[in-house]
Amino acid sequence: MIKKAHAFAAFFALISMAGGVQAGGDPEAGKAKSDLCQGCHGGDGMSVNPECPNLAGQKAGYIVKQVTDFQKGHRNNDTMSPMAGMVENMQDLKDIAVFFSSMNTMTAAKYMTPAPADKKLIAQGEKLFTEGNMAEGLYACVNCHGQKGKGKDAGNQIFPVIGGQHEGYLRKQLTDFRAAARTNDPAGMMGDIAKRIGDSEMDALVAYLANQ
């Protein structure tokens, strides 16, 4: 288990140095190009649909990568896959990504059904997020997603901001990673991690993250 944790640490250090995809778009141009996106993700990047992720403050490079994966069939969703195909060129995608990334995140409670106010469950989720579970070979989420899930440094576009995300969306992604229904994570890292997260641990993690 310790060797597994060391392998994850080495992998994380390597791709952190790589930085990930940099968007390099124009947020003003992106605002005008994002009309279709706003229908699901909100005009300010905060979705009112718990099945759709909030994009406000998300890493622009991460958004570019995910939309590109939808276009190429590396990631699939009945709604998002055809929508991604409507983005005409890479510059449009970069502009849209930078627009959403530049938006300030709002108070989640203003847009979403509040997550369960179970302080004990949230505390369990925080402990798992920050410390992991070495007995199960579960790497601490904070190492990739940053404090409170708000992302690592600005130069690292690989790992998404997940703090303050919809609880239902988070649960769906973890479940899909666990079942290998989603496989576009770097080197299968999230798939491996999700398989090590028990149902009760998942409950705690999503409760904690949704309340950030």
Lowest mean pLDDT among 17-26, 28-37, 111-120, 148-157: 17-26
Where residue 63 falls (left for φ over 0; alpha for ψ -120 to 50; beta otherwise) is alpha
Q: Where does residue 112 rank: exposed (0-12), middle (13-18), buried (19+ CB within 10 A)?
A: buried
**Tens of pLDDT, residues 144-163:** 999 999 998 888 899 999 99
Residue 22 scores a pLDDT above 90: no
Domain span at residue 173 reads 2-20+111-210
Final residue in a domain of this structure, among 76, 107, 138 = 107
The rounded distance, in Å, linking the Cα atoms of 165 and 61 is 18
Q: d(Cα 82, Cα 96) in Å, to the nearest integer?
A: 17
- Asked if residue 106 has pLDDT above 60, the reply is no
CB distance 184 to 75 below 8 Å: yes
Structure-block tokens of residue 45: 């990047």
Q: Which amino acid is at 118?
A: D
Same-domain status, 53 and 130:
no
Averaged pLDDT of the chain: 87
Last residue of a domain, one of 70, 86, 107: 107
Token pair of 102 as six digits: 């530049």
Tally the domains of the chain: 2
* CATH classification of the domain holding 54: 1.10.760.10
pLDDT classification of 48: cutoffs 50, 70, 90: confident
* Interval 158-211: pLDDT, tens: 999 999 999 999 999 999 999 999 999 999 999 999 999 999 999 999 999 999
Find the range with the poorest average confidence among 40-54, 106-120, 158-172, 193-207: 106-120
Q: Which residues contact 154 (CB under 8 A, 6 or more apart)?
A: none
Asked whether residue 6 falls in the same domain as residue 52, the answer is: no
pLDDT at 61 over 50: yes
pLDDT at 118 over 50: yes
